[in-house]
């Protein structure tokens, strides 16, 4: 039986959530943080649950989002109790979510699978891959010109504003100020930094992790405010290299920049009248 979730379901939802996050390598503390933050700040009626004998055994959440001028839903935190898998519960929830999108004349459903096998699972249920992510190495010596001067910052509100403006330009999975504080606390514990540059016309940010043992730097989220600045991205990365005094960076980027080998990142299930847009960017408001 499928029904909306309520605040009375929080403990059951949280237990399923933590178990699912553990399976993809997230520790209990971080999994609990994400579950508490999400359930505290977002409407409980965005959740759908499959109940077996009154007990929640499978769940997902629908977050309103916009894509190429149309509205739809981002499907988040899909999870089923291990002992209840293979019974069609998640398929039933996904179909119910899709029916809701169709009834509302939305473009459809978006989601980001956590592991490679899930692309096959969702593919069997009407989803298709529509964006990719690249993980690549940037070498300072390959960037011609002076790198941007990067400044370390823990001004959470400023980074949140910069981040949200960036997402309005291109794509987003926003978790709000508390999420950014959590990222920054984690980076502080692991020798990381939030870096930004702002020349008036050009601005951007990067969340970086620095490993002092091998002097390696990972840039796991970054953004520049305008697509017109894409030619300047190497100078931003060069500035990060100079900030940490390292010759190279490991960088994760969304599709479309041709910066390295790409792998599937997100999937979409479109309502009948909708088509894939030219640019696979979407805005997701979670604040």
* Residues 218 and 147 both lie in one domain: yes
Tokens of 189: 């514990």
- Tell me how far apart the alpha carbons of residues 63 and 163 are, in angstroms, rounded to a whole number: 19
Q: Which of 128-142, 177-191, 229-243 has the lowest mean pLDDT?
A: 177-191
User: Is 35 contained in some domain?
Assistant: yes
pLDDT score recorded for residue 60: 93
| Domain of residue 25, CATH code | 3.40.630.30
pTM exceeding 0.85:
no
* Residues 28 and 142 both lie in one domain: no
Confidence of residue 281 (pLDDT cuts 50, 70, 90): very low
* Residues 112 and 24 both lie in one domain: yes
pLDDT score recorded for residue 164: 61
- Decide if pLDDT at 174 tops 50: no
* Residues 13 and 42 both lie in one domain: yes
Residues 6+ apart with CB under 8 A from 45: 4, 5, 6
- Decide if pLDDT at 24 tops 70: no
pLDDT score recorded for residue 51: 94
pLDDT score recorded for residue 231: 66
Q: Which of 40-49, 206-215, 242-251 has the lowest mean pLDDT?
A: 40-49
- Tell me how far apart the alpha carbons of residues 53 and 284 are, in angstroms, rounded to a whole number: 34
- According to DSSP, the residues that pair with 52 across neighbouring strands are 55
Question: The domain containing residue 186 runs over which residues?
Answer: 134-254
User: Is 217 contained in some domain?
Assistant: yes
* Residues 198 and 163 both lie in one domain: yes
Residue 164's Cβ-count burial label (10 Å; 0-12, 13-18, 19+) is middle
- Tell me how far apart the alpha carbons of residues 262 and 122 are, in angstroms, rounded to a whole number: 19
- According to DSSP, the residues that pair with 217 across neighbouring strands are 210
User: Is 41 contained in some domain?
Assistant: yes
Provide the number of structural domains found in the chain. Answer: 2
User: Is 259 contained in some domain?
Assistant: no
Report the C-alpha dihedral over residues 258, 71, 63, 99, rounded to 10 degrees.
Answer: -110
* Residues 142 and 216 both lie in one domain: yes
User: Is 277 contained in some domain?
Assistant: no
Crossing angle between the packed helical segments 176-189 and 28-41, to the nearest 10 degrees: 160
pLDDT digits (tens, 9 = 90+) for 258-269: 455 677 777 889
Q: In the chain, count of helices (H) and strands (E)?
A: 7, 13
- Decide if pLDDT at 44 tops 80: no
Mean pLDDT of the 177-199 span: 61
Residue at token pair 């330009």? 169
∠ at Cα 23 (54, 45), nearest 5°? 40
Per-range mean pLDDT, top range of 100-104, 240-244, 260-264, 271-275: 100-104
* Residues 149 and 122 both lie in one domain: no
Mean pLDDT of the 44-54 span: 84
Tokens of 24: 């993809």
DSSP H or E run through 3: strand 2-4
Mean pLDDT of the 15-37 span: 75
* Residues 184 and 115 both lie in one domain: no
* Residues 155 and 207 both lie in one domain: yes
* Residues 24 and 107 both lie in one domain: yes
pLDDT digits (tens, 9 = 90+) for 71-99: 888 898 899 998 999 999 999 999 999 99
User: Is 150 contained in some domain?
Assistant: yes
pLDDT score recorded for residue 254: 61
pLDDT score recorded for residue 157: 67
* Residues 111 and 213 both lie in one domain: no
Per-range mean pLDDT, top range of 28-32, 203-207, 228-232: 203-207
> DSSP readout, 215-282?
TEEEEEEEEES-GGGGGGHHHHHHHHHHHHT-SEEEEEEETTS--S-EEEEEEEEE-TT----SS---
| 168 or 6: which leads in pLDDT | 6
Q: Taking a C-beta distance cutoff of 8 angstroms, is the pair 253, 236 a contact?
A: no
pLDDT digits (tens, 9 = 90+) for 95-122: 999 999 999 988 899 888 888 889 999 9
- Decide if pLDDT at 277 tops 70: no
User: Closest Cα partner for 148 from 235, 207, 44?
Assistant: 235
Per-range mean pLDDT, top range of 13-17, 51-55, 198-202: 51-55
């Amino acid at each position: 039986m499928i029904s909306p979730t309520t605040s009375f379901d929080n403990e059951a939802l949280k237990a399923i959530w933590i178990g699912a996050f553990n399976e993809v390598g997230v520790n209990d503390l971080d999994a609990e943080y994400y579950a508490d933050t999400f359930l505290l700040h977002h409407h409980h009626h965005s959740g759908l649950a499959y109940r077996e004998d009154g007990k929640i055994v499978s769940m997902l959440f629908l977050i309103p989002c916009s894509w190429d001028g149309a509205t739809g839903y981002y499907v988040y935190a899909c999870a089923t109790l291990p002992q209840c898998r293979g019974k069609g519960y998640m398929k039933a929830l996904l179909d119910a979510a899709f029916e809701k999108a169709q009834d509302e004349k939305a473009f459809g459903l978006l989601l980001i699978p956590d592991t490679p096998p899930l692309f096959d699972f969702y593919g069997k249920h009407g989803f298709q891959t529509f964006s990719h992510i690249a993980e690549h190495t940037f070498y300072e010596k390959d960037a011609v010109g002076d790198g941007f001067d990067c400044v370390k910052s823990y001004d959470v509100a400023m980074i949140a504003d910069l981040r949200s403006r960036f997402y309005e330009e291109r794509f987003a999975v926003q978790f709000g100020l508390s999420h950014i504080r959590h990222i920054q606390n984690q980076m502080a514990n692991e020798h990381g930094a939030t870096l930004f540059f702002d020349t008036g016309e050009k601005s951007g940010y990067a969340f970086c992790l620095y490993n002092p043992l091998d002097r390696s730097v990972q840039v796991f989220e970054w953004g520049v405010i305008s697509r017109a600045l894409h030619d300047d991205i190497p100078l931003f990365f060069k500035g990060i290299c100079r900030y940490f005094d390292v010759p190279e960076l490991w960088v994760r980027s969304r599709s479309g920049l041709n910066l390295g080998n790409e792998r599937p990142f997100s999937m979409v299930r479109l309502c009948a009248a909708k088509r894939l847009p030219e640019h696979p960017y979407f805005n997701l408001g979670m604040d």
